Structure 1
């Protein structure tokens, strides 16, 4: 078995006739693919400047491009490192555990709190109950292969599922709902970009960035709003993936009888004006 070798500079696209930073960018991208691992530091700016005969500004432009693509991550005061692979956040009704297992990763949970709370106006509206009504509440951090990925909160009406938390926190909220005949069948979700709070940054071990993706979801079983949830995902580990399709042809409604009459009158007036 041969050891991996750094790609030679002369084997990469030339900077002549194009942007100089492209050669540096291609070199770093190849280095990530062939030699470096997640968490490894990239070569210093000085070393890259000497290797390619370019300015520090050019090197920074190349690094900026890879940081923007999620290939590298900057940590203030430490340097620039190979970033963990981003995961697509596909818009579908699934659970964190199901998604991580589908990707071959080990899901884990740390419960931050659970119990019964009075429904806020927002939660009451989402669940179709009255403000102040008792709700089960569960807050937890979700991990994949030991790394914190998201902070989740769930609310379920006590009247709908009285014993939801009687045996402790359910490993899967969807399975807990299915167990009482409330199969999650559809949902609606809103996504927003935000900055993590101090507590969220600490729980998610955010260092180089505080960008997070917030998701608010209502999960339905048939016509029943069964669960209200919100989640805070690490912005450096998630990107949103949404399937798109070509729009269907626009439907032109048929004219009603009185519309037909108006069209005929308009035509007559028009013809009369133009002779």
Structure 2
């Protein structure tokens, strides 16, 4: 394995292991530290440091005497490296993204409150439009914590944002909270989506937290011509002569 990044070696190993987890090379359980040490040709201590960092991120769970297991719930969130529009449309592989702007800004009072920081702290703002063929299907505005990702100067639209953050800084949001609501878009958003002002659209607000529970990302994903589908599975059981209904 060739190492050519500026990141510490254990973070490079961490990223390599994480990519294997996300891509399905490792499923339920990680190989032993001795096996990984031989495979990556690094000291066992470096492997342990990389694994411990993934445990802190919530990606891995250590079970005494049994090994190191993958936290599938966290891995599911890590697949959301990309705006929600890329997974909410049929045939997401046909979607393309265009970067509109990327700039350093300072947090105003509203953003500072949402991102749990002081007004005037540095942020990185990215604006992206997402297309299916020639049709605009979504617009995303992302704010990244400038203290965590200081020096980010470029973004490659063909690659996941989180993937690039892990590669450059050794970490990306590992806990995700999403809130979905229908909104009537203002003139600015309508222009980005190519729809009429006050037309209804879905807004997915995503907040990403790092291992220290700092807000690393705040994104607003606006989706044109989309709808929410809620599926419930109901089951009934008879316990102690009473009927219980379970919804999933």
Q: How does 1:1-275 map to 2 (within 5 A)?
A: 94=80, 95-96=82-83, 99=87, 103-164=91-152, 166-168=153-155, 171-179=159-167, 180-206=169-195, 210-222=199-211, 223-234=213-224, 236=225, 238-244=226-232
In 2, distance between residues paired with 1:191 and 1:100? 12
| Aligned residues: CA RMSD | 3.3
When the two structures are superposed, what TM-score results if normalisation uses the length of structure 1?
A: 0.48
Aligned equivalents of 1:154 and 1:209: distance in 2? 22
Distance 2:97 2:113 in 1: 28
Determine helix, strand or coil for the equivalent of 1:240.
coil
Equivalent pairs, count: 156
**What's the offset of the Cα at 1:188?**
1.2
Bigger radius of gyration among the two: 1
- Give, in angstroms, the shift of residue 92 of structure 1: 6.1
Per-residue CA deviations over 1:199-222 (Å, capped at 9, x if unaligned) read: 333332326982111121101233
Moved more, 152-161 or 189-198: 189-198
TM-score (norm 2): 0.53
Where 2:139 maps in the other structure, the secondary structure is strand
The secondary structure found in structure 1 opposite 2:228 is strand
SS in 2 for 1:124: helix
Over 3 Å counting, the alpha-carbon distance change for 1:247 and 1:92 in structure 2 is farther
Structure 2 gap ranges (5+) = 1-75, 238-248
The C-alpha deviation readout for 1:31-86, integer Å capped at 9, x for no partner, is xxxxxxxxxxxxxxxxxxxxxxxxxxxxxxxxxxxxxxxxxxxxxxxxxxxxxxxx
Distance of aligned partners of 1:247 and 1:174 in 2 relative to their CA distance in 1, 3 Å threshold: farther
Give the secondary structure class of the aligned counterpart of 2:120: coil
Residue ranges of structure 1 left out of the alignment (5+ in a row): 1-90, 250-275
